């Protein structure tokens, strides 16, 4: 800010002009700050309100979709002629679905960002009512002993109505996405206006930046130091949680194997003795034999679950035998056919390292079964004198290697790799899909 000396008034102090300029500058800064503050506050309110309402609306729509999917699964089970239960056994489940669906529809109507037109409301209400009317008629047929007619009602009417409802809910979700796009556009417009105004303050901002730069650097150094400390604490906590989880699973596994296994073994033995005391040809002997078969099957399941929770053969036979045993059970339990190859020198690792490698393999194959959409996987185990490398490959949908997956399973796998001073990589397979690669150092 400069002042002009009036001719004929030499030595006039520039202080009043400077003070006036300072006052005007401060007033301008305050006015623009108030304006920008109002714009930012309005933007924040708009973002918070619309985002929150849209999120709640989407959650309710997903809740509605979930209820419709549950109804669809229940109807699929009802159409299964191999089910031992009468169709009326699903009445309570449908009543629960109905109550939850009505509540979800009511809440979704309250939080919807874009109110539905009367035609949309009437169509949705009519579709829901017709669906439940058809459900009631189906259960009336079932209670009257006409289960075949009830199943026909499901095939002819209910499944079609359910598909129409799913389509309607999907359209509402699409509308939510369109609302999000409109909200984003409104936010961008406000940002553009604010940006134009911010340029006015660049000169003043440069001085403020110069004055606060050193302070920010000092604050950032302190902040990064605190973040490093928190990261170390988080890693220590993760290690303790993983160790506690393994200890808990090991205790549960032993309890299942020792306590429940002995109980079921005793029951089978008692049933065998009781069966031998019953005369040949007696119906009771046949029933005792069937109960004995069920007890033996339960014993096998308990033992299999015990091994899945914590494989005792890891401590007895080592990592290689444990992996071979586990892969032999994967197709039966997860529906995934595994092609396994092993190369390199014999693997000698501690039980702690072995359980971490086993858990990574277990989680990776579980992800293949749940997310890849494939029924085949390739497992490769290789070792030399210095490192062990485990690879799990599938040719399914795959993950984005450039992204930052945040699933708890992947986080746990990375933590286990860090516990072993190793690394976990997510790579894109050559034929599409994903390769999970665990590399850990071996003790000398």
* Distance of alpha carbon 64 from alpha carbon 82, whole angstroms: 29
pLDDT tens digit sequence for 125-137: 788 888 888 888 8
* Distance of alpha carbon 58 from alpha carbon 53, whole angstroms: 8
**Residue whose C-alpha is closest to residue 329's, from 312, 308, 343:** 308
Output the CA–CA distances (angstroms, integers) from residue 361 to 338, 378, 412, in the order listed.
12, 11, 12
Strand residue runs (E) in 395-433: 423-428
Q: Span 9-16, mean pLDDT?
A: 48
Q: Domains of the chain (ranges plus CATH)?
A: 25-207 (1.20.120), 312-441 (3.30.565.10)
Q: Span 146-167, mean pLDDT?
A: 83
Q: Evaluate if residue 259 carries a pLDDT over 70.
A: no
* Distance of alpha carbon 249 from alpha carbon 307, whole angstroms: 10
Buried b (16+ CB within 10 A) or exposed e, 165-191: bbebbeebbebbeebbeebeeebeebe
Q: Span 214-240, mean pLDDT?
A: 75
Q: Is 435 left (phi over 0), alpha (psi -120 to 50) or beta?
A: beta
The gap from C-alpha 214 to its chain's centroid, in whole angstroms, comes to: 42
pLDDT confidence of residue 4: 34
Buried b (16+ CB within 10 A) or exposed e, 193-217: ebeeeeeeeeeeeeeeeeeeeeeee
Residues 6 or more apart in contact with residue 395 via CB below 8 angstroms: 372, 374, 376, 429, 431, 432, 433
pLDDT tens digit sequence for 75-120: 888 887 666 778 888 888 888 988 888 888 888 777 765 566 667 6
**Contact indicator for 2, 18 with CB cutoff of 8 Å:** no
Residue 412 has which token pair?
Answer: 């746990």
Q: How confident is the model at residue 303 (pLDDT cuts 50, 70, 90)?
A: low
- Bridge partners of residue 337, in order along the sequence: 376
Residues 6 or more apart in contact with residue 196 via CB below 8 angstroms: none
Radius of gyration of the chain (CA): 34
Higher pLDDT among residues 100 and 60, named by residue:
100
Phi, psi of 164 (to 5 degrees): -65, -40
Classify 153 as helix, strand or coil. helix
Q: Span 160-177, mean pLDDT?
A: 81
pLDDT confidence of residue 261: 64
Residue 433 has which token pair?
Answer: 């899909």
Residue with tokens 């009512």: 129
**Contact indicator for 93, 72 with CB cutoff of 8 Å:** no
pLDDT tens digit sequence for 320-362: 888 888 888 888 878 889 999 988 877 778 878 888 888 898 8
Q: Evaluate if residue 12 carries a pLDDT over 70.
A: no
Higher pLDDT among residues 181 and 368, named by residue:
368
């Amino acid at each position: 800010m400069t002042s002009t000396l009036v001719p004929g008034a030499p030595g006039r102090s520039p202080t009043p002009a400077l003070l006036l300029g300072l006052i005007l500058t401060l007033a301008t800064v305050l006015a623009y700050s108030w304006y920008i503050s109002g714009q930012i506050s309005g933007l924040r309110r708009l973002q918070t309100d619309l985002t929150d309402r849209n999120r709640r609306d989407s959650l309710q729509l997903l809740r509605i979709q979930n209820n419709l999917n549950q109804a669809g699964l229940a109807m699929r089970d009802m159409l299964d002629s191999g089910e031992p239960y009468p169709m009326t056994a699903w009445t309570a489940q449908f009543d629960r679905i109905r109550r939850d669906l009505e509540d979800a529809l009511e809440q979704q109507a309250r939080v919807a960002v874009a109110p539905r037109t009367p035609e949309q409301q009437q169509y949705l209400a009519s579709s829901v009512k017709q669906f439940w009317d058809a459900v009631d008629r189906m259960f009336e047929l079932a209670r009257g002993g006409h289960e075949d007619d009830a199943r026909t009602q499901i095939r002819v009417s209910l499944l079609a109505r359910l598909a129409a409802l799913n389509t309607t809910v999907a359209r509402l979700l699409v509308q939510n996405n369109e609302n999000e796009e409109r909200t984003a556009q409104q936010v961008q417009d406000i940002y553009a206006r604010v940006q134009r105004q911010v340029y006015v303050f660049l000169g003043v901002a440069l001085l403020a930046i110069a004055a606060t730069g050193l302070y920010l650097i000092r604050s950032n150094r302190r902040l990064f130091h605190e973040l490093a400390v928190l990261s170390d604490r988080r890693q220590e906590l993760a290690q303790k949680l993983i160790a506690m989880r393994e200890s808990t699973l090991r205790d549960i596994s032993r309890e299942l194997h020792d306590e429940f296994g002995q109980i079921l073994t005793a029951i089978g033995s008692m049933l065998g003795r009781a069966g031998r005391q019953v005369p040949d040809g007696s119906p009771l002997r046949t029933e005792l034999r069937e109960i004995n078969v069920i007890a033996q099957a339960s014993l096998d399941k308990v033992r299999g679950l015990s091994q899945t929770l914590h494989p005792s053969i890891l401590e007895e036979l080592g990592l290689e035998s444990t992996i071979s045993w586990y892969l032999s059970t994967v197709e039966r339990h997860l529906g995934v056919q595994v092609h396994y190859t092993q190369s390199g020198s014999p693997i000698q690792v501690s039980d702690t390292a072995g359980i971490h490698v086993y858990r990574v393999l277990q989680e990776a194959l579980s992800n293949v079964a749940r997310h890849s959409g494939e029924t085949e996987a390739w497992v490769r185990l290789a070792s030399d004198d210095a490192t062990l490398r485990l690879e799990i490959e599938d040719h399914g949908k795959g993950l984005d290697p450039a992204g930052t997956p945040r699933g708890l399973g992947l986080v746990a796998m990375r933590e286990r790799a860090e516990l072993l001073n190793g690394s976990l990589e997510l790579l894109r397979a050559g034929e599409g899909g994903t390769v999970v690669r665990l590399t850990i150092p071996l003790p000398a």
